[in-house]
Structure 1
């Protein structure tokens, strides 16, 4: 790809981009699967020809499914979700027929290391949290809750398992929820950041969260516990 004039991304080594006077082209690599996109059809066809000469690739057409993510197009834009993956999680956990929940956490109950009875076998809990972590690629609404429950992987209790089951019920209510990239959106970058105050009862550390939009499309988000214990009660919001 570098020989063809593409530049390898420093943020993601699997991403290659090329900007010319005729348009922009991007290529994303995952093992032996490729996504090729852009607004220069000539460049796209040229890249496909070179790749076919080198590796004998198979063009399967417009992108619809990629490593568990589904892509749906319309005149309004593109929807990226993981509906099938979410339904598979519910089925594996025997929650496909559960009663949906409107909220993903019981905010009146505080989770900590000692709350509940220690599970005799933590495998079920660990598997569920691991699967839900991958779902956060298109479900930023569950990022905070999954990050919270990930802190108890080494010693989960019945209370933590019940919290995971609550998230499954929340997903059951809207398994096709995802990220929308509108065709009418501008390219204005908007960001939000916030933090709580010593919310973790075990470490007394705060949680920082942020999200960034390009137009109306959410492109980057994170919810993470801070690495140090703050000694000030001052709160900053942007």
Structure 2
């Protein structure tokens, strides 16, 4: 606590002033935590003074608060490029990142507990710089960082504002920013050292070496690429649920009908249900194999019932049996996008809405996927499938634009594999049917991309439709095959046990 307080004083974070009679005075508090290493082991104790943003008033002591964060698909895309080019991937640490932001509003705060000035005990802190916990802190830090890197030759991507791109002749560099977690990728080690030196001259920043831990994800290097794992996080979820000794399940969801909002009786602890379901959502960052199962239980977070909790526990039993599984990325061609899309027509027992799912590969690497209930009813299986085609074509167009900004354009059309013949026919032929005229926008969007050579919609037999894993429960053999196709496997021998 003392070192944190001393750092704030050195940084001239506030002035002590008499309390204005009409000021909105916010609280502050000390937050204590155990900082962990990438393997989950204890590193050190940490204390941080934070402002209580809940007591801030919009228009009085805060205005704009939105701050972008890098998209998961962007992270996987950039990592795939770095692997394919054998570029160094480093992680950076910024000490007290939010304190670097510029505060434009007038904010008054109580003096910190345990550090009240004995000469002026009734004075308050008028903040000169930002603190963690203030509503505008993330936005101010992002803006300060973005403004500075622009002065050294970077520009932010229009596809993802938390991706910063640098190119000078043959030198290239990317910065991925997720609040205060930073990945730096450069085409040469010399360029990395130059950029790191410039960043360190402006911020309290240091190079932590090759990427090994980012956003709670362990990153292991091996001869054939990198392995992304959240096994420590998964263990914590299972422990929180009290299921450390549970019997593993072979699949995360059964092959029966989807869950209904009225099945079973109300679950007695909805807060626990929501906490576990939300935690599992984050686990899908490296575990696309549980995306459909997690999407199903998340549909009932507003009013969970016993049947829903049983389904959630089955996911946890599956995770327990595949605890060390993760996502593999390997050096691969970055000149081809391949996607699979599927829809389960009218599968929701309550609304009869369909579930869409897709996955997108850059070369051999899975970079984007989705499992989502469609927002509107589909009157036929072709309509449901076509909405799915439109979704994945839209995602593929975004990825193509992202790659273009990264200076790696895709010369070929994106291959979109669908197992519905009618949907494929609609995508490439100027037909207009009475039953499909209400989805005309989706039809014209896909046809335009096909006509421009940006997409080709092709047929794939249902037995090889990988996207099935995102729309329905599957038998074990088929599920295992599709999971392997998604590059979700056990860690390579060289990283096992790390």
TM-score (norm 2): 0.46
Q: Secondary structure at the match of 2:227?
A: strand
1:85 maps to 2:233: yes
Q: Is the 8 A contact 1:72 1:80 kept in 2?
A: yes
Is 1:218 equivalent to 2:366 in the alignment?
yes
The worse-fitting range, judged by mean Cα deviation, of 210-219 and 9-18 is: 9-18
Tell me the equivalent position of 2:181.
Answer: 33
> Is 2:306 the counterpart of 1:158?
yes
- Give CA deviations for 1:28-59 in whole Å, capped at 9, x if unaligned: 12232311112222221111111100012122
Q: Deviations over 1:159-181 (max 9, x none)?
A: 00000000001001112222211
Helix, strand or coil: the match of 1:134?
A: helix
Other-structure match for 2:204: 56
- In the TM superposition, what is the alpha-carbon distance from 1:225 to its structure 2 partner? 1.0
Contact 2:258–2:347 under 8 Å retained in 1: no
Partner of 2:355: 207
Taking the aligned partners of 1:23 and 1:112, their CA distance within structure 2 comes to 55
How many Å separate the matches in 1 of 2:291 and 2:171? 35
Distance 2:242 2:160 in 1: 36
Q: How many residues are paired up?
A: 237
Distance 1:80 1:51 in 2: 27
Does the CA contact (< 8 Å) of 1:190 and 1:212 recur in 2? yes
3-state SS of paired residue (1:45)? helix
In structure 2, C-alpha distance between the alignment counterparts of 1:69 and 1:216, rounded to whole Å: 21
2:181–2:215 Cα contact (<8 Å) kept: no
User: Runs ≥4 in structure 1, deviation > 3 angstroms?
Assistant: none
C-alpha deviation, 1:109, in angstroms: 4.7
Q: Is residue 291 of structure 2 the alignment partner of residue 143 of structure 1? A: yes
What are the Cα deviations for residues 170-197 of structure 1, in whole angstroms up to 9, with x where unaligned? 00111222221112x2222211111111
Alpha-carbon distance in structure 2 between the residues aligned to 1:23 and 1:146: 42
Paired with 1:127 and 1:10, the residues of 2 have a C-alpha distance of 34
Farther off after superposition, 226-235 or 64-73: 226-235
- Provide structure 2 residue ranges, at least 5 long, that are not aligned to the other structure: 1-148, 387-417, 419-457, 459-498
Matched, 1:173 2:295: no
The Cα offsets for residues 42-82 of structure 1, whole Å up to 9 and x where unpaired, read as: 22111111110001212221111112101000111111111
Structure with greater helix share of residues:
2
Question: For the Cα contact (< 8 Å) 1:22–1:40, is it kept in 2?
Answer: no
SS of 1:24's equivalent in the other structure is strand
3-state DSSP class of the match of 2:151? coil
Alignment check: 8 A CA contact 1:179 1:217 kept:
no
SS at structure 2 position matched to 1:61 = strand
1:42 maps onto 2:185 in alignment: no
| Structure 2 residue matching 1:116: 3-state secondary structure | coil
Tell me what 1:7 maps to: 155
**Residue-by-residue CA offset, 1:139-163 (whole Å, 9 max, x unaligned):** 1111111111111011110000000
Q: 1:186 aligns with which of 333, 338, 348?
A: 333
Pairing 1:222-237 to 2, within 5 Å after superposition: 222-234=370-382, 235=385, 237=418
| CA-CA distance at 1:112 after TM superposition | 0.4
Contact 2:167-2:173 at 8 Å conserved across structures: yes
- Contact residue 212 and residue 219 of structure 2 kept, 8 A: yes
Measured after TM superposition, the shift of residue 232 of structure 1 is 2.3
Work out the CA distance in 1 between the residues paired with 2:380 and 2:175.
46
SS of the counterpart of 2:318? helix
Q: Which of the pair has more CA radius of gyration?
A: 2
2:228 counterpart of 1:95: no
Give unpaired runs (5+ residues) of structure 1.
Answer: none
Name the TM-score, length of structure 1 as normaliser.
0.94
C-alpha distance in 1 between matches for 2:251 and 2:220: 26
Between the aligned partners of 2:314 and 2:220, the Cα distance in structure 1 is 28
Distance in 2 (alpha carbons) for counterparts of 1:130 and 1:110: 20
Q: Within 2, Cα distance between the matches of 1:24 and 1:201?
A: 51
